[in-house]
Amino acid sequence: MTLSSVISLGCAEALFRWYTGRTFDDKFPPWTGNLVVVRGAQVFAFKPHASGVFPGNVDMERTFPYRTNAHGLRDRDRPAKAQGSKRVLVMGDSYTWGYAVAEEEAYPQVAERLLAERGRPDIEVINGGIPDYNSRQERQLLEQLIPIYQPDAVFLAYVVNDAEPSTAMPTPPEEVYRHSRSWFLTEVAERLNRRLFRRRLLPSAKDNVGSNYLDGFDEGSVKWRDSREAIREMRDLCAGHPFTVLMMPDFTQEFDDRYALRTIHDAVASWGRELNIPVFDVLTMFRGQDHRAWMVPWDGHPNAEAHRRIAAFLVGKILEEPAFSRSP
C-alpha cells in the first residue's frame, strides 16, 4: 500500500511537472513583441533597439513612448568606458525606468545632467531599471550589466513590491515552485485553500502574487528572504565597489502617519544594517507633503517633478562617495 502510494505520487509529480512545463512553453513561443521570455529567475527582458508605447495603470487610454538601447535598457547607447570617466549604474523597476514619464525625465537621466551642470561631465549615470522587475530579476540583470558597463558604483532603488513575483509575464514553473519539493502537492494545497477552505489552511510554498505587499514581509513568508538574499548577492557582485540602496515610497500612499507600508521600509533598513549596505529612505524627502502633487494622476507612478527631486538626492549620494572625488 505504501509503495503503491509512493509510486502514484511520483507519477503524479512527474506528469504535473511535464504538464506545467509544456503548457508554459506552448503558451509562450519566442516572443514577437518587445519582450523576450527568459527562463529562470529573470523571466523576461526587453529586446535591444525596440520602441513602442505603454499605457497608464489608472487610465489605459493615456500612453507614453519608450525605446531601448543595444542592451534592452531605457538609456542611450554608450561607447566603451573612456579612460578617466566614472560610471554609476542604477538598478530598479518601473520607478527607475521612468514609467509614465519621458525618457529624459527619468531620475537617472536627470541625475546625469545635474552632474554635468555641477562640473562633473565625467560621471555617467546609466538607467538599469526594468518595469515590474523584483529583487531576484534585478540581481540577474546586474550580473549581465556589470561586465558591459563596468560601473564604479551601483545604486538599487527598492520599491515596496520588490519581494513580489513579476506580473508582466507568466513566471516559469520552476520559479513558481522553486521552494516546493513537490510541485503537485503544493498545487493541491493551493487549490484546496482557495476553493474549499477559502483561507490559507494548508501550508504552501508556491510563489503567488500577494493581494497586500505587507504579506510578503510576514515572518513565515519566503518572499522577503528571497529579496534580502538577492540584495546580498548584488552587494557581492559589485566586488568592492560601492553598493547603495535607495528605499522608494509608494506614491499612491499618503506621506504622513497614514502611510501603510512603513513595515517594508523598516525591514529594508534592517537588512542594510545586517548586510553592511547603506540604505537611504527617500520617503523622508516627501514626508508630510501631498502625495498627489508628486505622482502621475493617470498612472500612480512618480511624476517628472518627483524624478527631479530623487535625481538631486541621488547626485548628493554619488558625490559623497570617495570613488567620485576629483583627483588632486
pLDDT tens-digit profile of 164-205? 998 888 888 888 888 888 888 888 888 888 888 777 777 777
Q: Phi and psi (nearest 5°) for 91? A: -100, 150
Q: Tally Cβ neighbours within 10 Å of residue 225.
A: 13
How far is it, in rounded angstroms, from Cα 94 to Cα 110?
16
Give the pLDDT confidence of 206-250 residue by residue, as tens digits. Answer: 878 877 899 999 988 899 999 999 999 999 999 889 999 999 999
Model confidence, pTM: 0.93
Of the pLDDT bands very low, low, confident and very high (cuts 50, 70, 90), residue 1 is: low
**Domains along the chain?**
52-63+71-166+212-324 (3.40.50.1110)
Tell me, what's the pLDDT at 315? 98
- Kindly give, in sequence order, each residue whose CB lies less than 8 Å from that of residue 64, ignoring residues fewer than 6 positions away: 53, 54, 56, 100, 101, 102
Residue in the block written with cell 504552501: 204
> What gap in Å lies between CA 210 and CA 60, rounded to an integer?
23
Helix and strand numbers (H, E) in the chain are 10, 9
In 3D space, the residue among 303, 211, 294, 298 whose CA is nearest the CA of residue 253 turns out to be 294
Q: Are 69 and 50 in contact (CB under 8 A)?
A: no
Task: Quote the pLDDT of residue 25.
Answer: 67
If you search the block for the grid coordinates 519539493, which residue do you land on?
181
